[in-house]
Structure 1
Amino acid sequence: MQTQRTDALALRGAMVLARARTSPARRVCCLVTNSNGCCSKYGYCGISDAHCGSGCQAGYGSCNSGGNPGAAAVTEYISSSLFDQIFLHRNDPACSSNGFYTYDAFVTAAAAFPGFGTAGDAATNKRELAAFLAQISHETTGGWAAAPDGPYSWGLCWIQEGMKTPADQMAPYCAESAEYPCAPGKKYFGRGPMQLSWNYNYVPAGQALGFDGLNNPDAVTQDAVLAFKTAIWFWMTPRNPKPSCHEVMAGTWTPSPADVAAGRLPGFGLTTNIINGGLECSGTGTIHGQETDRIGYFARYASLFGVSTGDNSDCSRQQHY
C-alpha cells in the first residue's frame, strides 16, 4: 500500500459501511458487508472486545462465545517454526522491524477474524495463508536480487514506509474531507504489514479495530498485534465493487459477467488487483515488476505450505477495478 496506490486504498464508500450505527438498517452492515465482525450494543461494527464482547448483537454478526475455534485452526497450518522459516530475515539488524513482528502477535491477531485461513479445506486454507503472507511480504520487503537466502526471504522487514526515514520527512498522506478529517500534525503514511495508508483508511480501520486512527496513527507501529490486525482487516473487508481478498482465496467469490469480461478470475492475481491493480494490472499481458515480486513470494510460501499456487497467479491480463 504505497504512495502511488490509487485504487486499493480508496476505501471511502465501502468503509463507511463499517461505521454501522443504531438503526436496524445500519446494523445489517455487520452481517452483509462486515461478515467477520461484530455489532456492538450501540450498533457499531468492528472486531474489538468492545464490539464483540458484552452486549454484542448476535443477530447482526459474530460475537465472542468463549474462544475462537478458527484461530486454533490457523495454528494447525502455520507453526512458530514455519513462521520463522517464511520470514527468515524479519529480525535482521538491517530491518526496522527487528524484534517487532512475532508469531504470537500474528496468531493473536488472527483470532479476531473468524474464517481467516480457516474457511475451506486444508489446501484452500494453506493457499490463502500463503497468499496473505506473500502480499504483506511484498509490502514490507527488504529483499533484493542477490539478497542472502534469496529475495523472497525478507518479508516483514519494515514497520513503516521508508524503513528508517524520519517521520517528519514523510508525506502526510492526507486527503481531507468532512467524513475523514486529518488531525493537526499527524501523518497517515504506510504502517504495518499491509502498509495502511491515508487518513480515509486509518479512520475506518480504527473504528473497526478499536484504536484512534485519526489522532494516533502511530499506534499501528507500537503494537504488533494491532499491526497484524490492520493487515488482516484489509484482507477480510470487501470494497464495492471489489470482493475481499479473503473471499477470492477462500473460493467463496463468484465473478460477475463484468468481471469475467475484464479477465478478473479467482486466484492470487486478483488479490493483487484488489490491492494495487491501478498500477500493476494493465490488461496488456505484461507482468509488472512489483507483481513479479508478489508472485515470487507466493510461490515460495505455497511451496513451504506444500500446496500449489492455483490458477491465475498474475493479473497481467486483468483490467483493474
Structure 2
Amino acid sequence: MAPHHSRPSARDLLRFVLAVAVFLTTCGRVAEARYGAGGQLSPVAAIVSEELYSSLFLHKDDAACPAKGFYTYASFIRATRKFPKFGGTGGDLATRKREIAAFLAQISHETTGGWATAPDGPYSWGLCFKEEITPQSNYCDATNKQWPCYPGKSYHGRGPIQISWNYNYGPAGQALGFDGLLNPELVANCSDTAFQTALWFWMTPRQPKPSCHQVMIGDYCPTTAAAAANRTAGFGLVTNIVNGGLECNVANDARVNNRIGFYRRYCQVLGVDVGPNLDCAHQMPYS
C-alpha cells in the first residue's frame, strides 16, 4: 500500500514562506554589503569573504559570548563602505591585507573571550563581548567642555574597539550622524554603528597621534618628538595609539602579546608577513 501523505496545513505553509523570506532577506543584506547598490565588490570584501570572516571568529556566536549574533559579516562590510580608504588604499595588496589584519587583531583583543587553553586556541575568540561588563567608572572627563557628559550616562567601552570616554563618543557620533554623548548605548545596540565607531577611531588622526590607518599603509612620518620617543611605524605603534598609556614602554606586557598573537594569526591566514616593530615595549606612550 502506498504511504499516505497528509497535506500541509496553512500554518505549515506560512512558516515555510516566512523562513524563505528571512533567508532571502539575509542573503540580500550580505550581497548588498559585499557589492553595494551599484554591484561593485567592496575592497575589504574582496579580501575577507564571509567564509573567511567566520573562520577568523570561530566562537563569536557561541552561547557563552555576550555578543552572540551581534557582529555580523554584513554589518562589518557595510561599515567599511563608509570608510572606503580602509583596506582600499596603501599601494600593494599585501599592505592592504596587513592593515585589515591589524584592525581585526586590535578589535579581537578588545573583545576577546579567549584564554590560554581555550578551544581552537586563544586567538579564535575575538568579538565575544560588545561592552565592558564591570566598568570601573562612567569614563566621564568633566574637564572636557567641548564634549560635555550627560548626567546618568556612562561612556565605558563599547563596540569592537571598545570606544571609551566622552571625548571619543562625542566626535565619533558627530562624524557618524548620531548623538554619541546623549545615546552612547547605541554603540552596543546597533552592530552597524558599533563597527563604524571602530573604523572611525582607526581612520581618524587625533593630534599628536596619527591614525592607525596612516601607520599601517606607510603614510606616517614621525615628528622629531615622535622619533625621540621611538614611535616607529608598525603594529606596535597601532597598539600605542589604541592603549599605549597602559601597555607601552613596558617589557613583555601580556596585553600587547595577546594583540600580537591575533595579528600573527590573521596575517598567516591572509598570506602576508607581519612587518616590523610588532610591540611597543620601548616606545613612549602618548600623553
Deviations 1:268-292 (A, max 9, x none): 000001111111111x6x1211101
Shift of 1:261: 2.5
3-state secondary structure, aligned to 1:123:
helix
Q: With a CA cutoff of 8 Å and minimum separation of 6, indicate the structure with the bigger relative contact order.
A: 1
Paired residue type of 1:239: R
Of all paired residues, the percent bearing the same amino acid is 57
Pair 171,256 (structure 1): closer, same or farther in 2 beyond 3 Å: closer
Larger radius of gyration: 2
- Give the letter aligned to residue 72 of structure 1: S
Give 3-state SS (helix, strand or coil) of 2:98's partner. helix
**Equivalent-residue separation in structure 1 for 2:153 and 2:89 (angstroms):** 38
More helix by share: 2
How far the C-alpha of 1:81 sits from its partner, in A, is 0.6
Kept after mapping to 2: 8 A contact 1:280/1:288: yes
> In structure 1, what is the Cα distance between the partners aligned to 2:49 and 2:220?
28
Q: Count the aligned residue pairs.
A: 248
Corresponding position: 1:147 with 2:118 = yes
The amino acid of 1:214's aligned partner reads L
In 2, Cα distance between equivalents of 1:170 and 1:130:
30
The answer to whether residue 60 in structure 2 is matched with residue 90 in structure 1 is yes
Return the TM-score normalized by structure 2: 0.83
2:261 is aligned with 1:291: no
Which shifted more, 86-95 or 260-269? 260-269
CA deviation string 1:220-262 (max 9, x = no partner): 1111111000000000000111110000001111222332232
Q: Which residue of 2 aligns with 1:171?
A: 137
Contact map agreement 1:280 1:287 (CA 8 A) in 2: no
Match of 1:108 among 72, 78, 81: 78
Q: Given residue 106 of structure 2, which amino acid in structure 1 is its aligned partner?
A: Q
1:85-125 deviations in whole A, cap 9, x for unaligned? 11111001110010010100000000001210111211000
**3-state SS of 1:270 partner:** helix
- Structure 1 unaligned segments of length 5 or more: list them: 1-65
2: CA distance, partners of 1:197 / 1:261: 28
Equivalence for 1:128: 99
Look up the match of 1:33: none
Distance in 1 separating the partners of 2:53 and 2:278: 22
Q: CA deviation at 1:320?
A: 1.4
Runs of 4+ aligned structure 1 residues displaced above 3 Å come to 66-69
The answer to whether the Cα contact below 8 Å between 1:263 and 1:319 also exists between their aligned partners in 2 is yes
Rounded to whole Å, the distance in 2 between the matches of 1:110 and 1:313 is: 25
Aligned residue type for 1:145: A
Q: Which amino acid aligns with 1:151?
A: P
Residue of 73, 84, 89 corresponding to 2:43: 73
Compute the TM-score of the two structures, normalised by the length of structure 1: 0.74
State which of 152, 157, 164 in structure 1 corresponds to 2:128.
Answer: 157
Q: Contact 1:220/1:227 (CA < 8 Å) preserved in 2?
A: yes
Backbone CA RMSD of aligned residues: 1.6
